Each structure stands twice: as structure tokens, then as C-alpha cells.
Amino acid sequence: MKTLIENFSKQLREAIKIGANATIRNPQSAIRNIVITGLGGSGIGGTIVSEIVAGECPVPVVVNKDYFIPAFVNENSLVIVSSYSGNTEETIHAMEAALKAKAKIVCVTSGGKIAEMAKQNNCDLITIPGGSPPRAALAYSLTQLFFILKKFQLIRTDFEKQLNSAADLIDAEEKKMREEATAVAEFLHNKIPVLYAVDGYNGVATRFRQQLNENSKMLCWHHILPEMNHNELVGWAGGRNDLAVVILRNKTDFQRTQMRIEFSKKVFAKHTPHIKEIWSKGNSMLEQSIYLIHLTDWVSLFLAEKKGIDPVEVKIIDVLKSELGKN
């Protein structure tokens, strides 16, 4: 896992080349909505990308994490099927439904059943390198989503330049990022993490939570502002000393929301002394998101090392898949 995280910027650059060389055909019908379907490490890229493009994509983007797809999916829908292994049963089921709905389908996978279905049904297919845990291949899957949206003229931003800038930023800041991640891991050790971010970075916060779940084998939760100010803030009346708050922040966050963060910190401080902020770097929302993802990936790894556990191991998920395979 350490090597995989170290190679994140390299993976980003390789993913850009894959996307640039991918063959994606124009749809026969106008695209009026988008569904990105995928789960876990394969699905989180959809959540992150949908937030980044929300300000410019002219049609709604729905992220689907289930066996089923929304009833509105039809020949005017773009369904992006994301499964790193190509064998995620929920995603296979969702793809079958999208085929029946006659949607325009583009698949992002390393192979498996999804790749077979794509070829059999003449769907566009972007093949990414396999052999890694899906959560460690985020750069591959996330990057392809931008290329697909750009191909269909649903976004205009020069995301390719921003992705390259994000890779350069990570390389330039790598030493400092690891130092900060080490401090955050020490801060979270033997505590229950409570993660916060502003709306628009829900995917980034979710990714951090999932990495703590899988790499660090920890339970935690996350929420976003301003929404948490309308519910969870009251729940802090039951706060405890074993809770450790981490707030993912950006200098570009809306001023009123930043005021809410500062007030919320005062509330947290009444119930736990453990409060830490992680500030992003970068000149765009995409760069800032990539920066925070990479830094918090390191946090999850360093926590695993402090606990003396294998960050790659996910045996309980394998057991679940085995049980489901019996039926």
C-alpha cells in the first residue's frame, strides 16, 4: 500500500494518457442526464467528480451505489459503469438494467464481467491497469470520468491541465504532506475520528472515511457543512474526550460557511480537546481535492502502521462475497 500511495502522481499522469487515447463514440441521442454507477473504491470517484463539475455540467449527475438504477434512465441517459475488477455484482446488475433501458453506456474497468458485457453489447470501454486494491486505483477511474464528460461536451474546463498541475503539486509538496499526515495519524491514534468538510467536498471526506475504514481498520463518521449545523451540531452535547475532530478546509470555502466552521469549533471544544484542521493547496477545486485525497491516504497508512496491521487486508469483504456466491 505504501508503494501504491507513493505512486499516486505517477498514476495520475498515466491515467491522463489512457483517457486521451480512449475511443468514445458520440451518442445517437442528446444526453439529458448522467448516472455514474459503482461502489467502494470504484464508486467514490463518481461522487468526487460530480461535485467538481456541478458548477458547469448542464445536465444532472446522479451517483448510483446500488443494484438498481433510477427510473428516469432511458436512451437520453449517459450511464458510466465504474468497476475496477469488473466483477462487482451490484454494478453488473445495474449495467444490465441500463442496457435494458437503452442508455448510452461507457465502462471503466480493468477487465472481468463488465469488460465482457461491454464488448458483447458494443459499449464504449476504457480499460485501466489491474492488479491493485480498487481504492488504490482511484486516479485511474476518477480521471476517465473527466475525459468521458469532456468527450460528450458536458464540461469545458481544461481538467487535463488541472490534473497535471495536481500531480506536480503532490510531487513538490510530498515531504511536507507526509510530515503533516504523520502528525494527523498520531493525533487520531486510539481515538474515534469525526471528519468534517464543506459541501462540495463530501466525496473527499467520504474517501478519507473509507480509507480509515479499510486501511486503518477504524470506525469513524463524517458530515458536511452547512448541513451539520442543522442537526449534528446539537448532537455534540453528547461529545466525549475520545472523539477527535478533523476538518478539511480550503481558503476558497464560502465566507459564511467558514464563519460556521469557526463557531462549530467552539462547540466541539466544549466536549473534546482534540480538534485539528487540514488545509488544502492548489489553484482549483480539482487540485485541492486531489491534494486532500493524497494527504489523507497517507494518514490512513500511517495509522495502520502505528496499529501494526496490514492496510491491504480486507478479509471480511472477501468472506461476504464468498457467502453471496453460494446463492
Exactly one of 90, 104, 151, 214 is catalytic; name it: 214
230 is catalytic: yes
Greatest C-alpha distance within the chain: 60
**Which stretches of 204-284 are assigned E, i.e. beta strand?**
221-225, 243-249, 275-279
How far separated are the first and last CA of the chain, in Å rounded? 33
173 is catalytic: no
**Burial class, 3, CB count within 10 angstroms (exposed 0-12 / middle 13-18 / buried 19+):** exposed
Length of the chain, please? 327
Instruction: Residue 206: count other Cβ atoms within 10 Å of its Cβ.
Output: 18
* Cis bond upstream, residue 311 (ω within 30): no
Which three-class secondary structure state does DSSP give residue 259?
A: helix
CA gap 251, 57 in Å, rounded: 24
Exactly one of 175, 230, 266, 315 is catalytic; name it: 230
Report whether 300 contacts 311 (CB < 8 A): yes
321 is catalytic: yes
**HSE-CB for 27 with a 13 A CA cutoff:** 24
Catalytic residues: 214, 230, 321
